[in-house]
Homo-oligomer: A and B are copies of this chain.
Amino acid sequence: MKELKNILKAEAVRPLFKLFRIGLEKESQRITPEGCLAKTDHPKKVASRDIHPYIQTDFSETQMELITPVFDSSEETLRFLGALHDVALRSLDNEERLWPLSMPPILPEDDRDIVIAKLSDQGDVNYRRYLAKVYGKRKQMVSGIHYNFEFSEELLKEMHTLYFSTMSYETFRTEVYLKTSRHYLRYRWLITYLFGASPYAKEGYFIDEAPDEPIRSIRNSHFGYTNRPEIKASFESLTDYVSDIEHLVDNGDLIEAKEFYSSVRLRGADNLDELLEKGVSYIELRNIDLDPFAEYGTTLETLEFLHLFVMTMLWIDETEHSDKLLTDGVMLNDQVSLEHPLTKTALYEEGVWLMNQMTEMAEALNLSDKEKTLINEAKEQLEAPEKTLSARVVLAEEKEVAQNKELGTELGNVYYQRAFERPYQLSGYRQMELSTQIFLFDCIQNGIKVEVLDENDQFLKLTFNGRVEYVKNANMTSKDSYIVPLLMENKTVTKKVLAKAGYRVPLGKEFSSVAAAEARYELFAKKGFVVKPKSTNYGLGISIFKDGATFEDYQKALEIAFKEDSDILVEEFLEGTEYRFFVLDGKTRAVLLRVPANVVGDGVNSVEELVAEKNKDSLRGSNHRAPLELIQLGDLEQLMLKEQGLTISSIPEKEQIVYLRENSNVSTGGDSIDITEEMDESYKKIAESATESLGAKVCGIDLIIPNRKNKGCKNDNSYGIIEGNFNPAMHMHIYPFAGVGQRLTMDVLRLLYPEMTK
């Protein structure tokens, strides 16, 4: 291929450098808490491997493979990989963990105890049986990361325009990938030097020959998982590549094309014929060892360096024939792989040259400081081998061994614990609403393809069984009609519709001016009533008068309410306890009682100490990052204590309940108590039929019930409906303070995909 440096430097091309797409596949072995290979089957909690887009098994039943979708940035890809880890770890049986190293844990003596993945497709099973025979089961137990890289179409198209050739765009694209691949194969030794992380193997891996000392990468060396040396394909042209592999298959050297274990695979089609026709559209780099120090097997810095490295492979000019590049590449990579991690590499000189090429490119393309820093740090590692990953693994393992421990088991335990610290959150998506995080978790666990279309907007695209569904805020879907939430959003309209359908709602009036409301004072004066803004937000602007009010108090309440909205409601006050019914698809799925922030005395600790103790619950957090909020001891709480003749230092008696707030909102430290089972069926029926009257598929409907021991009846005063919520919170039902959590996110999923098996 002609020189590309000037094209890459061109004004129209240079800005497109950062546009690319990557996807990762990451394998690891399931282990017991003690670090032994798991003996269980692939976890049942995740959807069947027949359909799962993200969670699969590689060679053995214990070798879990996590597959990310393709993203526009390393960061997004790594975030999704984090989410996959949370789902995988939380789905494992018997508290199993994932082994964080490329080289497997201690392997069983008996080959039969290494169980081939129990896939339902017999062809897939047969392929693995063949591999076991040809390579031995033990070599197949090695794990790693595959890095799928795609140049952006914008970049390639602009480059093609400037390339001035008769080549079609598709051919040009293939040539770009071929050049990149050849250089990658030639210079991949540097990746092994920097990121090699398989210096030693546990018992049971090596059968005969083995290195005497730790080396940079067993996996990347000839001790690793490679084809025999004679198995090779040309990267000179796509035709050569395809015909070489086809030849190997025809000769019986490979059972099929995918047995070709090159460090680079040309991708873009399901089979070689199709690849030849369509051209290469991305490459799969297969030589990345697992980084045991990274919770998810790799780091953002590694991924970003890999991008720079791949770009450099395109950048540098070709001076040698492709066959020589490949032959040299194999030899040099094996050489570096076998070096002791703490020694300087024999290829130091070429390493310096390569790093200079990277620097030159960074300068020419006006890359940012962040990228230049990454290059400089790699340069430093050329000087200081102890900074390389393989060296760090060796040193860390030595430390563990000195304490009779094992690096893999220890790190596996740490990562496992972390996955359970906040089980309601999902790694990578912690900025999203809790309900959406839980919903994302369920999607992934159930093998539903999910794409975050807009993170701030909680907007997801789901694909399952060939059908797309969009979901916003975890329960706003296509299943509700447009008018229904608009109806529920308007409290006056909601009440009119419910009253017309025969439900009890608080009687009341809507006013648009203080004067109009004042003129009607007499209507409410002597009864219990509530003044509130028409659109309520977190309970702001609401005044409650349980036994009527003076005109002056009424005026004050109007003033407060009109501050929040241009329209206000004055409604009769309904006596009783408020319960939230979560109704979905005609059925009450959860019933919640919300209790104001409180502590229960033990006769020993002060209010302050009791609050601190209660706040230790991992379900409590701040800013809606947890299902419950931390209890505060601010002005409002202290005032409330004062009214009870208490201070934060008072020591409540045993069993004494001390309330710290009047309102029961979970957002101000209240408790959520699930009473789905206990709630009488009669009230559930009322909530369900009222929801039907509103036409809603998903509704959080608030009922006031004076005494739930009595049966509820639609036509009497046994209840009153306060409002219907069209996007009801779910996390408080899923992770309640007390009672059984109701996995409402699963109900939403089943509403969207009733064909789901779980």
Query: Residues of A with Cβ closer than 8 Å to B?
Result: 11-12, 14-16, 154, 366, 368, 453-454, 456-457, 459, 461, 469-472, 476-487, 490, 492-493, 496-497, 507, 512, 519-520, 522-523, 525-526, 566-567, 695
Contacts and interface: CB of A to CB of B under 8 A. Distances in A.
B486 A476 contact: yes
Given A453-B492, A493-B457, A481 B483 contact: no
B526 A454 contact: no
A478 to B, nearest CB: 4
Contact of A486 (B366, B472, B481, B483): B472
Nearest to A523: B15
21 contacts: A14-B522, A15-B520, A15-B523, A366-B522, A368-B519, A453-B492, A453-B493, A454-B493, A457-B490, A457-B493, A459-B486, A469-B483, A470-B486, A470-B487, A472-B487, A476-B482, A476-B483, A478-B484, A480-B481, A481-B482, A482-B485
Nearest to A521: B15
A75 to B, nearest CB: 12
Nearest to A19: B523
Contacts of A492: 453-454
Contacts of A368: 519
A520 B479 CA distance: 39
Contacts of A519: 368
A469 B567 CA distance: 25
A15 B477 contact: no
A490 B492 CA distance: 28
Nearest to A469: B483
A496 B453 contact: yes
Contacts of A453: 490, 492-493, 496-497
A522 B484 contact: no
A484 B486 contact: no
Nearest to A510: B454
Contacts of A497: 453, 461
A69 to B, nearest CB: 13
Nearest to A487: B470
A484 B483 contact: no
Closest 7 CB pairs of A and B: A15-B522, A480-B482, A478-B481, A15-B523, A453-B493, A470-B483, A478-B483
B490 A459 contact: yes
A692 to B, nearest CB: 13
Contacts of A566: 456
A23 to B, nearest CB: 17
A350 to B, nearest CB: 32
Given A459-B486, A470-B493, A477-B481, 8 more contacts: A456-B567, A459-B493, A472-B483, A472-B487, A476-B483, A478-B484, A480-B481, A482-B482
